[in-house]
Each structure stands twice: as C-alpha cells, then as structure tokens.
C-alpha cells in the first residue's frame, strides 16, 4: 500500500454555460490539473458524471488527446466526482496504476431548468418529493425541534455567497443580508431561492500518484465511501445525517484522526442551506443542534475557527453534479497549499471534503464520500 | 494477490419485457446467482448499466434488500457488464473486498424502437453513422477484400439462432436457412434484420470471491480491459479489430495462455454478424479472412472444434447493453460446469468472453474486455 498524494488539480469556470460542451469544460480542468502536476501522462482515468451521455468519458478524453488507457465512468449521483476520486485513490494505493486522473464533468443548463426532473420510475419524486422538498422537510424538522432558526438557515447562504466573492470561478457571489435571503423567492418552504444550489455546468480534475515528499503534494490521509444506505425512517436524525456520520467515522479511522476539531478547512455538500448545517453536525465539527449557530456566529466563516465552504460551496460556486466532488477537492488542495487568494484559511494544514449523493429516488440510492487531506 | 473464482451466476429471461422494470430483472439474476453461490452476503457491488437512470444501482439493490455496502455503477457502453465484472475481479484479487457481486441491468424496450438513437452531441450518429451503419461498413469492406461472402455473413446468424433453440432464456431462436437470413428486411446494406441484435431487456449477475478449490467454482484465469482507443483509420483492419486483438493479447498474457486454439468455448460480441467474424479473427481463433468460413463450415458451431456463442449470442439471446457481458460470463460458467443442457460443449475446460463497447460516437469511446475462465 503506497501513500497517495494529489499532485495536481484544476477546474473549469462554474456556471450556466450552454454554449460550452463537456469537451470544453473538461479541457479547462484537465489542462490545469496536468500543468499543476507537471505531467500530462496518466495510466488510467476515472470519470464521474451523472447525466453525461453513454460512452462520454472516453469520447471527451479522446478529444483532449488522451487515448489508449483505461477509462472507467462511474455514476453515484451527486457523489460521482468524489467516487471517481476514491476509486483513483484506491488504484494508486493498491499499486494497480502509477498515476491516475480523476475527472468530473457535468452540463446541466442544457438539460434542466430548475430542480432536477424526477425520473418516471421515481414514485417519491413524481409525488413532489424532489430534492428541494426533501431538504425542506429536513429543515422543517430542525425548526420544529428547535435545532435551527430561520435566520441561522439564511446565515449559511449569507456566509457562502460572501465567501464566493473571493472565488473568481464561482457561479454566484454577493453580499446578502439574512433578510434578503429570507425574502428571496420561496422554493420549498422554508428554503428560499438563495438557499438552493443553482443549475451549473462545469468540470474538475485531480491527478493522484504515490507520495514523493515534494512540497507541492497534498497527501490523502484517508478516504471513505459508503452507499446503498437507505434512510432509516426510525432514526432520530433527518435524511443524510447518519450516512455522513458513519462515512466520516470510517474516514477518520483511515486517517488516524481522533478529533474533528483538528480540521482546519472543510468543503461540504451544501446543496441547500440545511445540508451544510446537518453535515457539519454529522461530521462532529458542530455539536448536535449547533450547526446553524456556528454559521450565524462566524465559527464556520472565513476567519472563524473552522471555515466551511470557503469556495462558496455548492450554493455559490455552483453544483455541476459529477464535477462537484472534484471541485471540492481542488479547493481544499489550494487551501492547504496556501493558494486560495482572498479566501485563504490561514496556515491550513488539515482539510476535509464531504460529498453526498442522493439517488434517482431521494430516499434511496444515496452515497457519501469523506476525504481527509493533509499538507505534509 | 488472490486467485479469484466465479462462485455463482444468474440471469433474467432476455427479451422485450416492457412490463418488467430494472428491479424485477435484477431480482431474477441476483437471486439465481446468490442461490448458485450458496450465499446472499457480499461486501460490495459493481453495477453495469448504460441507460439506467441516475442512482439506479443502489436503488435497485435496496429493493432487493441489499443495503449498507458500497455500490459503484460503471458505464462503458456495451462493455459495461464486463467492466463491472473486471472491477469486481480486481477488488477481490487485491484483497479490497472478500466477496463481490457484479450485476448488469438494462431495459431498452421502453426507450428505443430499433437502433439506439444517436445522442445530439454525436456528429457521426446524426450523419447516419449509427451502430448498424458502422458494422455495415466493416462488412462491406470485408466483402470488398474477399475476406467474407454474403453467405458466410448469414451463416453466423443461422448458427447462433440455431444455438438459441437450446437456450430457454434466449429472446429469439429458430431454424433459418442462409437464404432466409439474406431475404430478411435490409437494415444497413449488407446487414439484414436477422443479422442485427434485437432490442432487449435483461439482467445478469456473478458472485466473485477468492478461489477455495471447490468443484463448482470457475476460476478467472485472466481479465483484460482496454478503452479510450480511438479507431486508427490508417490501420489495415476494420473498426474494432485492433482493440479486440490487443485486449486479447493482454488477457492471454494474464492467463498464461499460449495458444487460443486451446480455448474450448467462446462467447463474443456478435451485435451484428460481421462482429463475430472480425472478433474470432482478432482473438486468433480463426485466421485472418477465415472467420466467416469457420461459421459456414461448422468449426464455430456446436459440435465443431471451437464453438462460438453457444448461448445464441447477442443476435439471438438478446443484447440488453449493461447486462450482456455478465450474460456471456454466465453462459461460459454454465458451459465449464457442464450445466448448459442441449447446447453443452462437451468437456469444456477453458472458456473465453469478449465484449466490445462502442461509445456515444461510434468511432470514439470504445472499450473491450476479454476474460479467460477455467474449470480447475
């Protein structure tokens, strides 16, 4: 088993880019990742995409001049990008391949206008329980239990949109007030428009290889992937909480990490504001019922004790499904190298990425990947 | 590195089953594979599907009561099923997981009527170079070079439909003459309807685990996967030939197999009659330009020296894309165990599976998997 490091990362711009295509988006991410890694030679590629057409992985790579090596396309809903990362990590760690590219690609603006249309085979979605409604139910439960306030929900949006002001690749950014967030159009009560991730096109990539001790490398200290965990309706927690908690426990064990409080910078799956709150609690970064407060009081803001989503997160950087996980990885790598510009977390040494994938049915098929990255 | 064996296989029926769904198809395949393996416990699942909706892998498995374990869905066009198999094999061989399920699922009858509709982003397909046309060009080239005759092309269809008479799970079967095959409706000159695979729904599964020496196990002697190989237009060979040849060379090396003539029974990707002919030549089972003759003279028929597609192949058993590779594996496992009934190849000890995946664009994104299986 080799120690594995991220040797290079890259991303496209994120946003509605209907005039772009998967090849153009991938070209931006891959060329930057290769330049960053100082090589354009890899032995295999894992591609994460949800809505990419059949066979698109090899086709996109061929257009970039990458042929003659194994290409495996994986799909695990919103976690597709970090599953590609996790599989690439496994391949390097086991010695199966020497240097591997993980690539996430998604173009959603040409397929969807608003929330992802439920599949005809998804009874929950067709009954109205699409993604925004699912997260809204979690938010309503939190409100009912007194575990969050409306203002705290909105504070996550305020924080992440403000973070994105320092991220030139982000889809949306802005200085909003809690009142403005709450006054934006209602999408799924209590979640307003500014509390929902946008429709995004984008790509992100990472080059993984054995650690060599070079100063630029960011070490993968632990990766964990769980899937196929249906929501246990009898759990005292809302949808997603227990899967994040259990996956994080695996990742912390793999990383030999005793205290989540040691993590300096975090990117989590804030597809909706309540998502960040539940996730920070499930990760052990905030105590139960304290995730909203952490956002509202600045604990998870840039300059706070444990900044969460300095990139702007899915809410503001954008959420091109298959690319999201690798965009999160890229952000943490930049943070740990001190390359994050105006959104830099000072002297960040230990970082974490969490991605949550819902399935075709919001209640089934979810997947979670948690990765701990470290500047050696 | 553990020696890996197939401990159990199962499939659904194959055919147009619009009243079925992915869950029902998968249930048939998985329950048979679990019963065959004598266990319903696996540590991870790889799912191959091309057109399954986002997140369908975990969702289908949950409906079968399989939750709480990693599920990774892979897509590599028509080779998706055997890529799931190859990844499952890698996971067991490397010790990553102890026992793994590889599952292929596809429902095409509810999505397509006839050939797969080209994607809007596929310029070749939209120009008319859909799959039947691509294979037709290969056939025309073979005819032009005198490497095959129309009768020999038809003989593949005659042979495989006759084989399927002994396969109760096959979609189509029948005693046809060469004249009847040639007289069936023209699809893409020179390929007539009976020379093209049908629109199919189905599922197939295999349970892989370390070899224990039990008599029922079928050993995986070698697996090779290649992808991302664009067709070299300057090659003297038709589309697909060189990729099959190179992947087979990798598989033979992995299996320590010197002479392809030692293989007793073969399942190859006969999506169209010319496909079987080119593939048997690329595999080294027939000499260049002799593949058609081998079918016409009975060399590759049941009772011949090296039977090819005893199941009926894609032409007759059917071709539910993501399930096909694992249906081929199931057939070879049954053959090597002596469980193939009226289509049994006598005393088969060494078998081979070849699957070819075209991409969203017929010229790009292809993938090939070749597997050598052995009765210990």
Q: Cβ–Cβ of B74/A77 closer than 8 Å?
A: no
**A201 at interface of B, judged by CB pairs closer than 8 A:** no
Residue of B nearest to A359 (CA): B55
Which residues, numbered 52 to 71 in chain A, qualify as contacts with chain B under a Cβ-Cβ cut-off of 8 Å?
A: 53-59, 61-63, 66-71
Q: Please, what CATH class does the domain formed by A4-112+197-374 belong to?
A: alpha beta
Q: Cβ–Cβ of B228/A96 closer than 8 Å?
A: no
**A177 at interface of B, judged by CB pairs closer than 8 A:** no
Identify the band that residue A364 occupies on the pLDDT scale cut at 50, 70 and 90: low
Alpha helices in chain B (DSSP H): 22-37, 56-63, 80-93, 123-126, 131-144, 150-164, 178-183, 241-255, 273-282, 291-296, 313-316, 321-337
Of the residues B227, B249, B366, the best mutation for testing chain A's interface (the one with the most A CB atoms within 10 Å of its CB) is B227
Q: How far is B164 from chain A (nearest CA, A)?
A: 29
* DSSP string for A236-274: SS-TTHHHHHHHHHHHHHHHT---GGG--EEE---SBHH
Task: Please tell me which residue, B331 or A59, carries the higher pLDDT value.
Answer: B331
Which DSSP symbol is given to A355? E
Of the residues A22, A30, A58, the best mutation for testing chain B's interface (the one with the most B CB atoms within 10 Å of its CB) is A58
Query: Residues 6 or more apart from A43 whose CB is under 8 A from it?
Result: A69, A70, A97, A98, A99, A100
Task: Give the C-alpha separation, A196 to A194, whole Å.
Answer: 6
Structure confidence at residue B234 (pLDDT): 79
Structure confidence at residue B215 (pLDDT): 78
A190 preceded by cis ω (within 30°)? yes
Give the Å distances, CA to CA, from A41 to A66, A92, A99, A102, A139.
9, 14, 8, 13, 46
Structure confidence at residue A83 (pLDDT): 97
Query: Residues 6 or more apart from A353 whose CB is under 8 A from it?
Result: A82, A266, A267, A268, A325, A328, A329, A332, A369, A370, A371, A373
| CB atoms closer than 10 angstroms to residue B188 | 22
Residue A178 has pLDDT above 60, yes or no: yes
Angle at B153 between CA B152 and CA B154, to 5 degrees: 90
SS3 (DSSP) at A27: helix
Structure confidence at residue A363 (pLDDT): 55
Task: Give the C-alpha separation, A56 to A73, whole Å.
Answer: 8
Q: Residues A213-242: what's their mean pLDDT?
A: 85
Q: Positive or negative, the Cα torsion across A208, A213, A218, A221?
A: positive
Of the residues A112, A228, A363, the best mutation for testing chain B's interface (the one with the most B CB atoms within 10 Å of its CB) is A228
Q: How far is B285 from chain A (nearest CA, A)?
A: 24
Q: Which tokens in the block code for residue A124?
A: 């929950």
Which residues does chain A have within 8 Å of residue B68's beta carbon, measured at their own beta carbons? 226, 228-229
Binning chain B into helix, strand and coil, the percentages to the nearest 5 are: 35, 20, 45
Angle at B360 between CA B359 and CA B366, to 5 degrees: 10
Which residue among B54, B62, B76 places its CB closest to the CB of A50?
B54
Give the Å distances, CA to CA, from B302 to A192, A375, B94, B261, B344.
66, 62, 37, 16, 8
Residue A310 has pLDDT above 80, yes or no: yes
Instruction: Look up the pTM and report it.
Output: 0.94
Which residues does chain B have within 8 Å of residue A54's beta carbon, measured at their own beta carbons? 50-51, 75, 77, 116, 119, 359-360
Q: Cβ–Cβ of B74/A70 closer than 8 Å?
A: no
Contact A283, A247 (CB under 8 A): no
Counting as low any pLDDT under 50, the low residues of chain B are 360
Structure confidence at residue B119 (pLDDT): 76
Residue A143 has pLDDT above 60, yes or no: yes
Task: Give the C-alpha separation, A316 to A198, whole Å.
Answer: 8
Task: Give the C-alpha separation, B74 to B87, whole Å.
Answer: 9
| CB atoms closer than 10 angstroms to residue A256 | 9
Q: Residues A114-131: what's their mean pLDDT?
A: 79
Task: Give the C-alpha separation, B151 to B293, whole Å.
Answer: 9
Nearest to B315 by CA among B147, B189, B200: B200
Kindly list the catalytic residues of A. Answer: 78, 319
Structure confidence at residue B360 (pLDDT): 42
SS3 (DSSP) at B229: coil
Q: How far is A250 from chain B (nearest CA, A)?
A: 13
Q: Cβ–Cβ of B121/A22 closer than 8 Å?
A: yes
Strand extents, DSSP E, A138-228: 186-188, 191-192, 201-210, 218-227
Q: Cβ–Cβ of B76/A72 closer than 8 Å?
A: yes
The residue behind tokens 């970082």 is A351
Which residues, numbered 98 to 137 in chain B, qualify as contacts with chain A under a Cβ-Cβ cut-off of 8 Å?
A: 116, 119, 121-122
SS3 (DSSP) at A120: coil
A vs B: CB pairs below 8 A: 162
Binning chain A into helix, strand and coil, the percentages to the nearest 5 are: 35, 20, 45
Tell me what the pLDDT averaged over chain A comes to.
94
Query: Residues 6 or more apart from B339 whose CB is under 8 A from it?
Result: none
Identify the band that residue A56 occupies on the pLDDT scale cut at 50, 70 and 90: confident
Task: Please tell me which residue, B70 or A235, carries the higher pLDDT value.
Answer: B70
Q: Positive or negative, the Cα torsion across A243, A248, A253, A259?
A: negative
B160: left (phi over 0), alpha (psi -120 to 50) or beta: alpha
Structure confidence at residue A29 (pLDDT): 98
Give the Å distances, CA to CA, from B104 to A298, A332, B100, B110, B326.
48, 36, 13, 17, 6
Backbone angles phi, psi at B230, to 5 degrees: -70, 155
Q: Cβ–Cβ of A96/B94 closer than 8 Å?
A: yes
**A44 at interface of B, judged by CB pairs closer than 8 A:** no
Of the residues A112, A116, A358, A365, the best mutation for testing chain B's interface (the one with the most B CB atoms within 10 Å of its CB) is A365
Residue A287: burial class (beta carbons within 10 Å; 0-12, 13-18, 19+): exposed
**B32 at interface of A, judged by CB pairs closer than 8 A:** no
Angle at A158 between CA A154 and CA A159, to 5 degrees: 115
Task: Give the C-alpha separation, A3 to B350, whole Å.
Answer: 39
The residue behind tokens 């596929």 is B122
Which DSSP symbol is given to A66? -
Residue A360 has pLDDT above 50, yes or no: no
Angle at B204 between CA B200 and CA B210, to 5 degrees: 160
Residue of A nearest to B22 (CA): A121
């Amino acid at each position: 088993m080799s120690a594995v490091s991220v040797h290079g990362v890259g991303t496209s711009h994120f946003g509605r880019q209907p005039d772009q295509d998967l090849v153009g988006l991938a070209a931006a991410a891959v060329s930057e990742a290769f330049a960053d890694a100082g090589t354009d030679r890899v032995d295999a590629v894992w591609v994460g995409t949800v809505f990419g057409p059949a066979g698109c992985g090899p086709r996109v790579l061929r257009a970039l001049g990458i042929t003659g090596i194994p290409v495996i396309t994986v799909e695990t809903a919103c976690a597709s990008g970090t599953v590609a990362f996790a599989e690439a990590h496994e391949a390097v760690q086991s010695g199966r391949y020497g240097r591997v590219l993980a690539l996430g690609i998604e173009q959603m603006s040409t397929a969807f206008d608003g929330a992802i249309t439920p599949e005809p085979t998804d009874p929950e979605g067709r009954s109205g329980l699409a993604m925004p409604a699912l997260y809204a139910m979690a938010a309503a439960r939190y409100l009912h239990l007194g575990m969050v306030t409306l203002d705290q929900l909105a504070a996550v949006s305020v924080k992440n949109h403000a973070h994105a002001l320092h991220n030139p690749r982000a889809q949306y950014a802005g200085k909003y007030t809690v009142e403005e967030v709450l006054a934006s159009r209602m999408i799924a009560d209590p979640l307003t428009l500014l509390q929902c991730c946008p429709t995004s096109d984008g790509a992100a990539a990472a080059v993984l290889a054995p650690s060599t001790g070079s100063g630029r490398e960011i070490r993968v200290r632990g990766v964990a992937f769980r899937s196929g965990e249906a929501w246990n309706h009898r759990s005292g927690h809302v949808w997603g909480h227990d899967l994040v908690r259990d996956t994080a426990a695996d990742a912390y064990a793999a990383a030999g990490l005793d205290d989540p409080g040691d993590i300096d910078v975090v990117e989590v799956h804030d597809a909706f504001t309540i998502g960040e709150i539940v996730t920070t609690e499930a990760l052990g970064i905030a105590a139960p019922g304290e995730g909203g407060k952490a956002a509202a009081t600045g604990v998870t803001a840039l300059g706070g004790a444990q900044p969460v989503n300095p990139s702007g997160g899915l809410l503001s950087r954008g959420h091109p499904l298959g690319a999201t996980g690798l965009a999160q990885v890229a952000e943490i790598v930049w943070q740990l190298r001190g390359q994050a510009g105006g959104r830099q977390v000072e002297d960040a040494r230990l970082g974490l990425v969490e991605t949550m994938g819902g399935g075709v049915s919001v209640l089934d098929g979810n997947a979670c990947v948690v990765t701990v990255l470290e500047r050696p």
